[in-house]
Amino acid sequence: MSILIDKKTRLLVQGITGGEGSFHTQRCIEYGSNVVAGVTPGKGGSETLGVPIFNTVETAVEKTQANASIIFVPAAFAADAILEAVDAGIPLVVCITEGIPVLDMVMVHNYLRGKQTRLIGPNCPGLISPGKCKAGLMAGEIHLPGNIGVVSRSGTLTYETVAQLTSLGIGQSTCVGIGGDPLPGTTFVDILELFQKDKETKAVVLIGEIGGIAEQDAADFIKKKMNKPVVAFVAGATAPPGRRMGHAGAIISGSSGRAQDKIAALAAAGATIASSPAEIGLTMRKVLQKWDATH
């Protein structure tokens, strides 16, 4: 098993004919993902990379039974693209787009309430279940199928972590980038809950960063609901307060946003803290050795 995506995922790409959309669609196909449809208004009826293009998401779903969508639409139009996917009833929507206005996301969240769709992102690298399906930007070849779940607010730091795990021979069940926006569709807690339930996932790596209280919420969940080991790293311990560090979410405002507070909360909840970002893989190896010796 794995979470959210696997061999049964039928992927639709919104914005498939754009530069980023077509480049990464091709990468996903090469990795073995089943890309069944693309949507670009005005280009319906044509084909790209061997994938049929439709004018609307609704038609694409009707004709291809797509059950997941990945969005590469520019920021000004991305909220509309998310709403279109939710309206079409797609259960999993992954929004890669960076720079969506916050008030657009407030509108999206309002629309999502009570709907069945799970939104991942925006401003995220997407997700991958190694060996099964890739719905994201990550380089497929750094991954190794296995049983470690990875969840992160940062894209490239996730790649870094995965590369460390793979080089130590530690494979991954699913790696999810939840994105760096202040209003993510899916939180650490949502993903931890799925990893806790997933039989194939044995342990979890959580990568947080300064700003907000998502890591504290995760700590609370780990303490109350998880019996699988968690290794955590929080980026930004040396960041100056009050400054926005690229990710809209990564601004320290008030004491709860500081790396030290997040690390303390996660450690108190029983997570093992990687003291350096270069030691996340090694920390997981130690945790697994200890776990195997006692279980």
Partner 1 sequence: MKIHEYQAKALMSEFGIPIPQGAVATSAAEVKKIAAELGGRVAIKAQVYAGGRGKAGGIKVAGSPEEAETLAAQMLGTRLVTHQTATEGVPVSKVLVEKAVSVQQELYLSIVVATANRMSVMMASEAGGMDIEEVARTSPEKILLEYIDRATGFQAFQGRKLAYGMNLSQNLIRPAANLMANLYRLFQAKDCSLAEINPLVVTTDGEIMALDAKLNFDDNALFRHSDIEQLHDVEQEDPLEVKANELGVKNYIKMDGNIGCLVNGAGLAMAVMDLITLAGGRPANFLDIGTVNNTDRVVAAFKVFTTDPSVKAILVNIFGGIARVDVIAQGIVEAHHQMDIPQPLVIRLAGTNVDEGKSILAESGIKFIEATNFLDAASKAVAAAKGERN
Q: Which residues are catalytic?
A: 247
Are residues 67 and 73 in contact, defined by beta-carbon separation less than 8 angstroms? Answer: no
Q: Which stretch binds partner 1 (CB under 8 A): 4-12, 57-65, 222-230, 238-246?
A: 238-246
Q: Which stretch binds partner 1 (CB under 8 A): 9-17, 38-46, 49-57, 147-155?
A: 147-155
Q: Which stretch binds partner 1 (CB under 8 A): 56-64, 81-89, 150-158, 287-295?
A: 150-158
Q: Could you tell me how far CA 270 lies from the centroid of its own chain? A: 23
Does 282 help bind partner 1 (rule: CB under 8 A)?
no
* Closest C-alpha among 90, 107, 100, 98 to residue 39: 90
Per-residue burial over 139-172, b = 16 or more CB atoms within 10 Å of its CB, e = otherwise: ebebbbebbbbbbbbbbebbbbbbebbbeeebbb
Distance (Å, whole) CA 261 – CA 254: 11
- Three-state DSSP at 160 gives helix
Does 254 help bind partner 1 (rule: CB under 8 A)?
yes
Least distance from C-beta 293 to partner 1, angstroms? 27
Residue numbers 98-137 binding partner 1 by CB under 8 A: 98-107, 109-110, 125, 137
Q: Could you tell me how far CA 11 lies from the centroid of its own chain? A: 16
Residues that bind partner 1 (CB under 8 A): 19-20, 24, 27, 75-76, 96, 98-107, 109-110, 125, 137-139, 142, 152-160, 163, 180, 182-183, 207, 209-210, 212-213, 233, 235-240, 242-243, 245-250, 254, 275-278
